């Protein structure tokens, strides 16, 4: 709910467990007061005044009121040049070269809906939105701040729209989405770093006097950093402590900056990375920043994650597949790579269908002259030497086996050795007259250009409309370099990277609108574009190219802090693993992959009869547990950053009627005493029958016993040399009696 007190000029946004409060001060500046636990109708006004500090200037009409300096204030949308020397959200250059806007309150209104953002992903659903207009004291530049309140999830969606009414062009050097100012210090920052095939590893760092920034200038959100951070108390755990999440719904260059300042207050800003960014805003035009989702929890990191999970499942993902059960698939990549034809694909589909798998996905190599990874990207025309009879023939044959058919595309890329590149050598990102970078034998199409997007769209649409294709894996296998567009003049090249992202979003919107029954999955060399912006366009993302079950424990652990299991692409793959060479038991691979959109990446012909029986059982078990895994509450039961021996996590139905406990050993030690694991999300005074994944009863226990006394993890026995017990996994089903 949104409240406004005209006398005090205080805005209060209330959710189920939290309150967000700000006020317009006597000079017209919009100051942040509180984002945290509910205030029960109270006001924070006057509680957080820092007092006088030398070298903190008084802006504009403040005269000599240095105590009110913007350098010492908690602000909703700080700007560069007006006396606030900390991280800022807006930097603007006016026609006369001035850089010192003073944004003061002009008006506000409450909208009984969640507005969409033109050309950008955004949360949706029933909610109230507060729109506050700030105006530069000296020129007709407006910043419209949007606050959409999702009460159930203790979430506030924030963005800004910058409107130029000055009568002349202005230049934006920075246009971030959100600032969160807290009037105290003593916080940690959690961020999620990594690299290709090892994404979203958790790092927890105390804030310092100075700026701690995580960012990407790679043209995508990247494997290396993720546009999601958490600010929390030093002592915060899974079950206790204050936590603030800041998640950016954007898939390009971003920055997240956290700092403690001279006055002992803390600030987090997030938005489009200003590095390389410039935007010319003509008179009468506006610029919309991406949306950021802020979530608060006073009950620790686990509650924060579960709020994000529900918010994104219900109010970010869209379309037919947002809540619909996804098919179990098999991808041919690790079985065949580029070496396949239609007969081999049909054999894979037949063998998979007999085991209960529901869809065959044909990965790279079905198009153009794509016999290896050095050619034909951009030529999205069926290779009839490999797929004889065309894609419709293959789809019909696969469908006749009771299976669906899916295809891999990489729409944003082009090979130098391709018909498209030979026909349009100016369509990829590069600066004419200069050399250009190559990566993974491919170049990047200029998706900011309409004619490029139209050409890609037409090729993809012809394939998808010509055959019964049920699924598309949308990949992107390199980052942006030589970012320059032939469509823009020299003084607007700083817009190219953002226009690239907007172009990708526009193409995705067109494809999904035209093919609403197709399940789209995102990918970028695995998890290189695993962000909330992409979840608006497709409900699942390939989590990592690293399919090693032991490595995936850490990758999926970090991913779970901000993203729901229903978004995590996870498959059982071949062993020895193609990325690490590790051999893990088939059962262990199944347990890990079940914490995601389940499927297979292996050659079924190489499986033993026993392993094929396990596939049947895994598919059957996943179907039975689908709702619990994808819609249930997710609990991290052990801290993977504190110990490395084993991982434990749980899914619990919201009503406490059922739970699934998962335990996987990643390091077996001699004489190791397994930890006691405290379950969560159960009904304390109810009894639960606990069975293992073979259906054997472990016992009947009350929820209180399992949550408060705990359950000791089973002991792992290792065999050397490497054998079936080296990375054991256990699943326990709990049903309330």
Residues that are catalytic? 531, 611
Backbone φ and ψ for 372, nearest 5 degrees, come out as -155, -175
Q: How far is CA 584 from the centre of its chain?
A: 28
Backbone φ and ψ for 280, nearest 5 degrees, come out as -85, 120
Taken in order 56, 182, 60, 275, the sign of the CA dihedral is positive
Tokens 């055959």, residue located: 467
Tokens 């805005």, residue located: 11
Tokens 């960012």, residue located: 215
Q: Which of 476, 478, 457, 464 is nearest to 412 (CA)?
A: 476
Backbone φ and ψ for 397, nearest 5 degrees, come out as -70, -40
3-state SS, residue 334: helix
What percent of the chain is helix, strand and coil (3-state, nearest 5)?
Answer: 20, 30, 45
What is the helix (H) or strand (E) element at residue 588, kind and residue range? helix 586-593
For 163-321, where are the alpha helices, taking DSSP H only? 300-315
530/543 Cα distance (integer angstroms): 7
Structure tokens belonging to residue 72: 């010492």
Tokens 């304390």, residue located: 684
End-to-end CA distance of the chain: 39
Nearest-10 crossing angle of helices 609-631, 586-593? 20
Bridge partners for 157 per DSSP: 148, 293
Q: Which of 645, 651, 657 is nearest to 713 (CA)?
A: 645
282/252 Cα distance (integer angstroms): 23
Find the Cα–Cα–Cα–Cα dihedral 430, 432, 434, 436, rounded to 10°. 20
CA distances from 703 to 240, 560, 625, 662, 675 (A): 20, 24, 20, 17, 19
Q: How far is CA 22 from the centre of its chain?
A: 28
450/355 Cα distance (integer angstroms): 45
Number of helices (H) and strands (E), helices first, in the chain?
12, 39
For residue 721, whether the previous peptide bond is cis, meaning omega lies within 30 degrees of 0, is: yes
3-state SS, residue 709: helix
Q: Which of 603, 588, 609 is nearest to 724 (CA)?
A: 588
For residue 43, whether the previous peptide bond is cis, meaning omega lies within 30 degrees of 0, is: no
Taken in order 482, 487, 488, 490, the sign of the CA dihedral is positive
Residues 6+ apart with CB under 8 A from 480: 218, 219, 220, 429, 444, 497, 500
359/403 Cα distance (integer angstroms): 5
659/654 Cα distance (integer angstroms): 10
Backbone φ and ψ for 105, nearest 5 degrees, come out as -60, 135
313/308 Cα distance (integer angstroms): 8
Structure tokens belonging to residue 464: 């998808």
Tokens 């995936």, residue located: 552
Contact in structure between 506 and 453 (CB atoms under 8 Å): yes
């Amino acid at each position: 709910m949104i409240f406004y007190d005209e006398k005090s000029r205080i805005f209060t946004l209330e959710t189920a467990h939290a309150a967000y409060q700000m006020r317009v001060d006597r000079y017209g500046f919009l100051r942040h007061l509180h984002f945290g636990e509910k205030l029960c109708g109270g006001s924070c006004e006057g509680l957080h005044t820092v007092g006088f500090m030398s070298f903190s200037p008084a802006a504009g009409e403040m005269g000599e009121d240095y105590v009110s300096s913007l350098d010492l204030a908690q602000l909703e949308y700080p700007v560069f040049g007006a006396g606030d020397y900390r991280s800022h959200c807006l930097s603007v250059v006016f026609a006369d070269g001035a850089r010192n806007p003073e944004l003061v309150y002009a008006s506000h209104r409450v909208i009984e809906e969640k507005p969409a953002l033109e050309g950008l992903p955004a949360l949706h659903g029933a909610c109230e939105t507060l729109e506050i207009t700030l105006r530069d004291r000296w020129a007709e530049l407006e910043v419209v701040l949007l606050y959409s309140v999702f009460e159930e999830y203790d979430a506030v969606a924030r963005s800004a729209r910058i409107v130029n009414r000055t009568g002349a062009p202005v230049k934006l050097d920075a246009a971030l989405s959100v600032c969160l100012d807290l009037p105290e210090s003593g916080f940690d920052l959690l961020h999620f770093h990594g690299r290709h095939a090892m994404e979203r590893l958790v790092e927890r760092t105390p804030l310092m006097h100075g700026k701690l920034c995580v960012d990407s200038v790679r043209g995508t959100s990247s494997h290396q950093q993720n546009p999601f951070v958490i600010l929390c108390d030093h002592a915060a755990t899974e079950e206790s402590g204050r936590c603030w999440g800041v998640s950016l719904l954007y898939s390009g260059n971003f920055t997240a900056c956290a700092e403690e300042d001279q006055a002992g207050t803390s600030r987090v800003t997030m938005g489009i990375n200003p590095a390389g960014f410039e935007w010319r805003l003509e008179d009468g035009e506006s610029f919309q920043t991406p949306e950021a989702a802020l979530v608060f929890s006073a009950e620790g990191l686990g509650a924060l994650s579960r709020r994000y999970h529900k918010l994104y499942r219900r109010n970010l993902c869209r379309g037919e597949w947002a809540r619909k059960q996804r098919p179990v698939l098999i991808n041919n990549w690790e079985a065949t790579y580029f070496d396949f034809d239609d007969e081999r694909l049909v054999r894979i589909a037949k063998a998979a269908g007999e085991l209960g798998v529901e869809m065959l996905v044909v990965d790279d190599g079905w198009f153009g002259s794509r016999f290896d990874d050095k050619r034909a990207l951009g030529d999205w025309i069926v290779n009839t030497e490999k797929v004889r009879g065309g894609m419709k023939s293959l789809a019909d044959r696969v469908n006749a086996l009771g299976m669906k058919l899916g295809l891999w595309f990489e729409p944003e890329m082009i090979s130098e050795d391709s018909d498209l590149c030979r026909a349009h050598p100016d369509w990829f990102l590069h600066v004419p007259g200069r050399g250009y970078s190559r990566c993974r034998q491919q170049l990047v199409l200029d998706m900011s250009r309409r004619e490029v997007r139209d050409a890609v769209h037409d090729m993809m649409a012809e394939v998808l409309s010509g055959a019964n294709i049920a699924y598309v894996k949308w990949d992107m296998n390199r980052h942006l370099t030589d970012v320059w567009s032939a469509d823009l003049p020299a003084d607007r090249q700083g817009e190219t990277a953002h226009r690239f992202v907007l172009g990708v979003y526009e193409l995705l919107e067109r494809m999904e609108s035209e093919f609403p029954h197709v399940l789209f999955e995102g990918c970028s060399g695995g998890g290189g574009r695993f962000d909330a912006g992409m979840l608006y366009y497709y409900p699942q993302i390939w989590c990592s190219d690293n399919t090693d079950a032991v490595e995936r424990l850490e990758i999926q652990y970090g991913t779970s802090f901000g993203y729901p299991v229903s978004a995590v692409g996870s498959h059982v793959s071949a062993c020895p693993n193609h990325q690490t060479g590790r051999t893990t038991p088939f059962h262990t691979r199944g347990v890990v992959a079940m914490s995601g959109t389940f499927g297979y990446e292996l050659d079924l012909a190489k499986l033993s009869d026993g392993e094929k029986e396990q596939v049947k059982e895994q598919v059957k078990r996943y179907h039975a547990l689908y709702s619990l895994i994808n819609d249930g509450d997710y609990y991290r039961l052990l801290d993977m950053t504190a110990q490395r021996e084993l991982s434990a996590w749980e899914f619990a139905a919201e009503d406490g009627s059922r739970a699934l406990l998962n335990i996987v050993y990643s390091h077996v030690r001699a004489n190791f005493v397994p930890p006691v694991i405290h379950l969560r999300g159960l009904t304390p005074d109810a009894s639960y029958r606990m069975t293992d994944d073979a259906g054997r009863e472990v016992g009947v226990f009350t929820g209180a016993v399992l949550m408060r006394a705990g359950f000791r993890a089973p002991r792992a026995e290792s065999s050397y040399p490497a054998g079936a017990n080296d990375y054991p996994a256990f699943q326990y089903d709990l049903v309330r009696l």
